[in-house]
Amino acid sequence: MIELHIHLEGSVRPRTLLELAKEQGAYMPTYDEKALERYLRVPNCCTDLAEYLKRFDLAFTVLQEKKAIRRAVYELVKDLDDQGVLYAEIRMIPQYHTLRGLSQSQVVEAAIAGINRGVEDSRRIRANLILCTVRGADEKDNFATIVEAMEYLRKGVAGMDLVGDEAGFPTEMYVEQFQVLNQEGIPFCVHAGEKAGPDSIRLAINNGALRIGHGIHAIEDPDLVELIKERRIALEICPTSNLQTGVVTDIKEHPIKKYYDAGVRVTVGTDDMVVCDTTLRKEYTLLHNAFGWTREDFKKMNQYAIDAAFLPSMEKERLRYLLEEIYNG
């Protein structure tokens, strides 16, 4: 399985959050592991955005030290390997880990160290980071993230993403940023079409985005769906997350079915493994139950994911070989 859409801050083991909080004397809403697990899991269709975001704050509270960041990333790589993931692109927001004095560079170095050790101690997973800039953040902090992506590209960083409040800070505000990424040869995706309409997605694609995070609202615009197909843009769909944030209210109505049937390159991700209480397997089961998709369908989506991964072609070949082995074995 290939995982192209997972955020570190929503995927830290609850026990680790607790242990780090105790070590650091940091605040947690509860110090009981089971209670914390329950707190972290968002109920379906959590309409209160502030409530939803509070879950991620817990990770940012404790992931402000190199050792803690290294550990969280290491454990995530191990967890994904245990689940049978062959390759993962793990998103993080470096500027949110600088509250207690780390530089973005130190944050990224610590995360890459966590990836490298995690890969070494695992069966066969490979992983890279995707560094995220944030809608509405200070321009200088976003630019500092781009500088880190330039520095570590193909040395632990695969590409970039733009996350955050799509309605409040529309995609057109970030066209200049996309141009810098294009000039620097940094592949990128954009979280778009989740809280804003088709134009947000179109703008991202026309400015060089190779993948779109979610892209739910593209379905409202047939010409856009055609454009996504023609340009071989991958949509990174995270079904459980979409239900939780209420962008889709019933899995049977999820546009992933129409996209897939239309030949759009859809890939499946977990978004936030702990907060969404999910794994790739659970997502596949959800989709299987809703649409009757089989192993062949999921194999195809994994092939799309390999094609869309921000990897050199040799690495993709290796993944194609492994995928074939798994699905035919």
Dmax (CA) for the chain in angstroms is 54
Q: Minimum distance from CB of 326 to Zn ion (Å)?
A: 26
Helix axes 139-152, 104-120, angle to 10 degrees: 40
Q: Which stretch binds Zn ion (CB under 5 A): 79-87, 118-126, 266-274, 310-318?
A: 266-274
Give whole-number Cα distances, 120 to 15, 113, 115, 155, in Å: 23, 11, 9, 15
Closest residue to Zn ion in the complex (CB): 271
Alpha-carbon span 189 to 160, nearest angstrom: 6
Residue with Cβ nearer Zn ion (190 or 311) = 190
Alpha-carbon span 93 to 107, nearest angstrom: 9
Residues 270-289 that bind Zn ion (CB under 5 A): 271
Q: Which stretch binds Zn ion (CB under 5 A): 149-157, 223-231, 243-251, 267-275?
A: 267-275
Q: Indicate the residue type of 195.
A: K
Q: Which stretch binds Zn ion (CB under 5 A): 22-30, 107-115, 265-273, 275-283?
A: 265-273
Q: Minimum distance from CB of 214 to Zn ion (Å)?
A: 7
Q: Are the C-beta atoms of 87 and 312 separated by less than 8 Å? A: no
CA dihedral 215, 219, 222, 227 (to 10 degrees): 20
Residues recognised as catalytic: 194
Residue with Cβ nearer Zn ion (256 or 323) = 256
Q: Minimum distance from CB of 168 to Zn ion (Å)?
A: 17
Residue with Cβ nearer Zn ion (65 or 194) = 194
Q: Are the C-beta atoms of 47 and 246 separated by less than 8 Å? A: yes
What residues contact 245, with CB distance under 8 A and at least 6 apart?
Answer: 45, 46, 52, 194
Residue with Cβ nearer Zn ion (237 or 311) = 237
Q: Minimum distance from CB of 5 to Zn ion (Å)?
A: 6
Residues 187-226 that bind Zn ion (CB under 5 A): none
SS3 content of the chain, % helix, strand, coil (to 5): 55, 15, 30
* Binding footprint of Zn ion, residue count (CB under 5 A): 1
Q: Minimum distance from CB of 172 to Zn ion (Å)?
A: 20
Residue with Cβ nearer Zn ion (18 or 162) = 162
Residue with Cβ nearer Zn ion (166 or 271) = 271
Q: Which stretch binds Zn ion (CB under 5 A): 15-23, 71-79, 103-111, 268-276?
A: 268-276
CA dihedral 250, 255, 256, 260 (to 10 degrees): 140
Q: Minimum distance from CB of 209 to Zn ion (Å)?
A: 14
DSSP symbols for 34-96: HHHHHHHSPPSS---HHHHHHHHHHHHHH--SHHHHHHHHHHHHHHHHHTT-SEEEEEE-GGG
Q: Which stretch binds Zn ion (CB under 5 A): 123-131, 178-186, 263-271, 282-290?
A: 263-271
Q: Which residues bind Zn ion (CB under 5 A)?
A: 271
